[in-house]
Amino acid sequence: MSEYLNDNSISHSERAVNSRQESLWELVNDLIEGLDRLIACYPNGLERIEGIYRQEVLKIESRNTKDNLPDTTKPQSKQKKHRTTKEEMEILSVLKVYKDKLPDDAIASVCEQLSEIWTKKKIKDWWNYHKDK
């Protein structure tokens, strides 16, 4: 019994034995409560748990997911690629006059005129791609 309770003492007194028995019964009661909760999770209880055990642990049956809880997570919607409009191109083309380095004040002024989709990084990337064209 002491190996399950992580009790390596070798005392055999009545008090020590009673203490270990109490700890062991607490563990047993916790296990029973957990098993009752697990059985209550499925409509056909123990039968479904045994089926899952045969499918997932022993792998002697093929997986049956029809009684599993439904997946309630919603997939993240993908953002569509933003296409630069003619108006945005006109605003951004002002930056083409800078050949070596793009000043922060120029980025800020352009950023104010554009929609919230345009970040400073996105403006710099656009400029790096278009500066020599």
Say yes or no: 90 and 64 in one domain: no
**pLDDT at 129 exceeding the cut of 70:** yes
Owning domain of residue 108 = 86-130
The SS3 assignment for 101 reads: coil
Say yes or no: 52 and 107 in one domain: no
Say yes or no: 92 and 37 in one domain: no
Q: Mean of the per-residue pLDDT values for the chain?
A: 82
Residue 80 gets the label, from left (phi > 0), alpha (psi -120 to 50) or beta, of: beta
**pLDDT at 73 exceeding the cut of 70:** yes
Say yes or no: 57 and 98 in one domain: no
CA distances for 46 relative to 28, 37, 82, angstroms = 19, 11, 53
The reply to whether 51 falls in a domain is yes
The reply to whether 73 falls in a domain is no
- Structure-model confidence comparison of residues 72 and 86, the more confident one: 86
Total domains, the chain: 2
Say yes or no: 48 and 102 in one domain: no
Say yes or no: 118 and 62 in one domain: no
The reply to whether 92 falls in a domain is yes
The SS3 assignment for 108 reads: helix
Long-range interactions of 113-120: CB distance < 8 A, separation 24+ = 114/88, 115/88, 117/82, 118/88
DSSP alpha helix (H) spans, 41-131: 45-52, 86-92, 104-113, 120-130
Running DSSP on this structure, what letter comes out for residue 73?
Answer: P
Say yes or no: 56 and 3 in one domain: yes
What is the average per-residue pLDDT within 69-94? 84
**pLDDT at 97 exceeding the cut of 80:** yes
pLDDT of residue 32: 93
DSSP alpha helix (H) spans, 53-119: 86-92, 104-113
